[in-house]
Chains A and B, each alone.
Chain A
Amino acid sequence: LDALLSTLFYLFAALAIGAALAASVLPHRVQRGLALAALAAGTAGCFAVLGAGFAAAVSGLALLGCALLLAAPAYRSLISERSPDWIRQLMGPAAALLFAALAYAAFRSDLNHAVYLGGWIGGAGSGRLLFSREAVAVAALGSILLCSLVALAVAWRVRAR
Chain B
Amino acid sequence: VTLGLVQVLFVAAALLAAGAFALGHRRESGAALAGVPALAAGSGLALVGVSRFSASLTDPLAGQVFATVVALAALAVVVVGVALLGRESQR
Q: Which residues of A contact B (CB under 8 A)?
A: 1, 3, 5-6, 9-10, 13, 16-17, 20-21, 23-24, 27, 29, 32, 35-36, 39-40, 42-43, 46-47, 50-52, 54-55, 58-59, 62-63, 65-67, 69-70, 72, 74-80, 83, 87-88, 91-92, 94-96, 98-99, 102-103, 105-107, 109, 111-118, 122, 125-126, 129-130, 134, 137-138, 141, 144-145, 148-149, 151-152, 154-156, 158-159
Q: How far is the CA of A54 from the CA of B65 in the complex (A)?
A: 9
> What are 24 pairs between A and B in contact, CB < 8 Å?
A6-B1, A20-B41, A23-B37, A24-B19, A24-B21, A36-B34, A39-B38, A55-B44, A55-B68, A55-B71, A65-B78, A70-B30, A70-B33, A75-B86, A76-B85, A77-B30, A87-B24, A88-B25, A95-B21, A98-B17, A99-B14, A102-B17, A118-B64, A156-B86
Can you name the residue of chain A whose Cβ is closest to the Cβ of B36? A66
Whether B2 and A1, one on each chain, are in contact in the complex, defined by CB atoms closer than 8 angstroms, is yes
Whether A126 and B79, one on each chain, are in contact in the complex, defined by CB atoms closer than 8 angstroms, is no
Q: Which residues of A contact B28 (CB under 8 A)?
A: 77-80
Task: With a 10 A CB-CB cut-off, give which of B15, B87, B88 has the most chain A CB atoms.
Answer: B15
Whether B85 and A16, one on each chain, are in contact in the complex, defined by CB atoms closer than 8 angstroms, is no
Whether B68 and A76, one on each chain, are in contact in the complex, defined by CB atoms closer than 8 angstroms, is no
A148-B76, A151-B80, A152-B79 known; A91+B87 contact, CB < 8 A: no
Task: With a 10 A CB-CB cut-off, give which of A23, A59, A67 has the most chain B CB atoms.
Answer: A59
Q: Which residues of A contact B80 (CB under 8 A)?
A: 148, 151-152
Q: Map CB proximity to A onto B38-57 as digits: 1 under 8 Å, 0 otherwise.
A: 10111011001111111111
Q: Which residues of B contact A141 (CB under 8 A)?
A: 69, 72-73, 76
Q: Which residues of B contact A55 (CB under 8 A)?
A: 44, 48, 64-65, 67-68, 71
Can you name the residue of chain B whose Cβ is closest to the Cβ of A21? B18
Q: How far is the CA of A92 from the CA of B13 in the complex (A)?
A: 15
Q: How far is the CA of A80 from the CA of B91 in the complex (A)?
A: 15
Q: Which residues of A contact B55 (CB under 8 A)?
A: 114, 116, 118
Q: How far is the CA of A145 from the CA of B62 in the complex (A)?
A: 21
